[in-house]
A = this chain, B = another copy of it.
Amino acid sequence: MKDVRIIEVKRSVFASNEERADLLRQELKKKGIFLLNLMSSPGSGKTTTLVRTIEALKNTCRIGVMEADIDSDVDARTIAEQGVLSIQLHTGGMCHLDAEMTRQGLQELEKENSGQTGPVDLAILENVGNLVCPAEFDTGACKNTMILSVPEGDDKPLKYPLMFSVCDVVLINKIDVLPYFDFDMERCIQNIHKRNPQAKVIPICARTGEGVDDFAAWLTDEMRAWKEEEKSHA
């Protein structure tokens, strides 16, 4: 199995995380890198969804993945097997990533990428599995995506309001097991829109790949818009 680099990320020295996050977004825009922050509970299927998304996009753009984890490097190895750049960020027990930790990760991803023709087009941050803390810290990402899986229940937007408020896209994963759970898709979408009327909701099954193309299409559109915005400012 391919070796992956493990980075120990540290807290920011900036007074304000918001300030650091805005600065990071400006830097990313200049470099033409689109940063996606992917969040969810433990076991909702972040890594499997990433593998499918990479399959859908790896022939059209250069992808780099940062896998945040408290202790293991299982996920970064899984991603490295897809043939894309992958590093593991260790948070030292911390429950979230902030903008400075993300910047350190991007810097290491850049080193890993040295010798290539250019920077990645799409950097994906797989955040720590947690519906509470990651929502409170702007990582500097261009867009936020979260995964809610069917077994977790359709009431989660009511219980973890901030997470659903900060996300541009909510992927509802594991729709293949809908028959075995008391999960009402209509009610779930209503609950999401109560928290965030603008949120785009995409039902998927990462295991089979169902619905992942819709997510990849959204991501492609957003990446294009991000690069065009930069050109019009240049």
Q: In the complex, are the beta carbons of A131 and B130 less than 8 A apart? A: yes
Which stretch from A65-73, A102-110, A111-119 is at the chain B interface? A65-73
Q: How many A residues touch B, CB cutoff 8 Å? A: 34
**Distance in Å from the Cβ of A77 to the closest Cβ of chain B?**
12
Q: In the complex, are the beta carbons of B159 and A129 less than 8 A apart? A: yes
Q: In the complex, are the beta carbons of B93 and A162 less than 8 A apart? A: yes
Which stretch from A8-16, A28-36, A148-156 is at the chain B interface? A148-156
A150-176 vs B, CB cutoff 8 Å, 1 = contact: the mask equals 111101101111100000000000101
Among candidates B43, B95, B160, B177, residue contacting A70 with C-beta atoms closer than 8 Å: B160
Known: A130-B95, A130-B132, A177-B177. A42 touches B159 (CB 8 A): yes
Q: In the complex, are the beta carbons of B93 and A160 less than 8 A apart? A: no
Q: In the complex, are the beta carbons of B180 and A95 less than 8 A apart? A: no
Asked if A136 lies at the interface with its beta carbon under 8 angstroms from chain B, I say yes
Please indicate the chain B residues that have their CB under 8 angstroms from the CB of A129 in the complex: 41, 131-132, 159-160
Q: In the complex, are the beta carbons of B131 and A42 less than 8 A apart? A: yes
Among candidates B70, B72, B160, B161, residue contacting A42 with C-beta atoms closer than 8 Å: B160
Asked if A225 lies at the interface with its beta carbon under 8 angstroms from chain B, I say no
Asked if A74 lies at the interface with its beta carbon under 8 angstroms from chain B, I say yes
How many angstroms from the CA of A120 to the CA of B132 in the assembled complex?
A: 31
Known: A42-B152, A43-B151, A177-B151. A74 touches B159 (CB 8 A): yes
In the complex, besides A71-B158, A177-B177, 17 extra interface pairs with C-beta distance below 8 angstroms are A41-B41, A42-B152, A42-B156, A42-B159, A43-B151, A70-B159, A72-B158, A74-B158, A93-B136, A93-B162, A95-B95, A128-B132, A129-B131, A129-B132, A129-B159, A130-B130, A180-B180
10 closest A-B pairs by beta carbon, nearest first, are A43-B152, A151-B151, A95-B132, A43-B153, A41-B41, A41-B42, A42-B131, A95-B133, A177-B180, A72-B158
